Amino acid sequence: MAGTTWVFAEIVDGKPVAVTLELLTKARSLGGTVEAVAFSPVAEAAAATLGEYGATTVYAGTDPAYAELLLGGPAADALAKLAQEHSPDLILIGATYTGRDVAGRLAALIDAPVIANGLDVAANGDITVQSAIFGATQVVQTKFDSSGPKVALIRAKSFAAEPGGGGAPKLVKIDAPIDEKHRAAKMVESKADTATGPKLEEAAVVISGGRGLQDPKNFDLLHQVADLVHGAVGASRAVVDAGWVPYAMQVGQTGKTVKPTVYIACGISGAMQHTVGMKGSKNIVAINKDADAPIFKLADLGIVGDTLKILPQLIDELKARKG
C-alpha cells in the first residue's frame, strides 16, 4: 500500500497525455489514495478524465500563462509548495520532456530523492522502482530509503492505461503566482507531427528497421508493409544516428517505448538498448540473416534470412490477401 500517490498530470491539446493515464492506472493498483496535480488553463475540464482513471482529487493550476510558458519551472515551484503542505508518499511523473524538467526541479526544491528511467513501481511496505541503468544493460530494483515524498520518473508505455470507473474527482484550485524568472522564455510556435497513419507509440503493428536494411531507401519496404496493415514504422538507433530516418522513429532506451500487438524487427541485432523499448510487445517477429542474433532470444517468431528478400514477399502476400 502506497499511502498517498500523486500523479503529475500533463495536459496537451486539452486532454491528459497517455502516460498520465498509464500512471494513474498504476497508482490505483498500489492501493491507498490517488490524486492528480495538473497545470493548464483547461486543467479543470480535464479533471473528469483524471477521475475516470483513478484520481479522487485533482489539484488544478489554471493560470492562462501555463499555455505559453515552459511548464517545468512554474509547475515544479507550485508542486513543491503543494507537496510540502500535503506530504504525499509518492509522486509519479511521466518521463516526457516536461516531466523530466519538473522532476529534477521538484526533487531539488523539496530535497526529495528521484529515481529516473523507471519501468515499474511497487509498494509492499517499501516503495521500490524498477529502472534501467548503465545504458539499459541492467535492470535494477531500487528502494526509497527516506521519509517525505519520493519522486519517480516513469517511462511511457510501462503500464497499460485502463479506466477504473471512478466518478468526478474533488477539484482543488491551486493558487500559485508564477515567479517572474519563469516568464523569460515563451513558446512561440508549436508544430503538430504531420505523419500519416497511426503514431508509433499507439500503432497495433510496428515494423522497425536497422542497419541490416543496408540502405535508407529500403525503408520504403517497411512503409509499404505499414500502409498495408495500418501500422507504424520504427528504427534502431544505428540508422537514426546514420541519418537514414528521423529521431522520432527511434525505438529503445533513448527513443520511444512501444507495446504493439505485433512488432516486426528487420535487420536489427537486438541490443539491450533497443529491446528495452519493444520487449513489452505482445508478439515479436524478427528477420535477421544471422541465426545467432540476440533478437531471436526475444522473438516469438524468428525468420533467418535476408530481410530485403523476405519483405517484398510479405508485401506481395499482404496485397494478395487484401485483394
Ligand X SMILES: Cc1cc2nc3c(=O)[nH]c(=O)nc-3n(C[C@H](O)[C@H](O)[C@H](O)COP(=O)(O)OP(=O)(O)OC[C@H]3O[C@@H](n4cnc5c(N)ncnc54)[C@H](O)[C@@H]3O)c2cc1C
Segment near ligand X (CB under 6 A); pick from 37-45, 93-101, 186-194, 281-289 = 281-289
| Interface residue with ligand X, options 293, 299, 311, 314 (CB under 6 A) | 293
| Interface residue with ligand X, options 237, 249, 284, 311 (CB under 6 A) | 237
117 contributes a contact to ligand X by CB under 6 A: no
| Interface residue with ligand X, options 2, 78, 206, 238 (CB under 6 A) | 238
Whole-number Cα distances in Å, 18 to 94, 154, 156, 240, 302: 9, 12, 8, 25, 31
130 contributes a contact to ligand X by CB under 6 A: no
308 contributes a contact to ligand X by CB under 6 A: yes
Type of residue at 58: V
Whole-number minimum distance, CB 294 to ligand X, in Å? 8
250 contributes a contact to ligand X by CB under 6 A: yes
255 contributes a contact to ligand X by CB under 6 A: yes
| Interface residue with ligand X, options 182, 211, 223, 279 (CB under 6 A) | 211
Whole-number Cα distances in Å, 270 to 107, 165, 237, 285, 308: 35, 39, 11, 12, 18
156 contributes a contact to ligand X by CB under 6 A: no
* Residues near ligand X (CB under 6 A): 135, 210-212, 214, 236-239, 250-255, 267-269, 271, 273-274, 277, 287-290, 293, 306-308
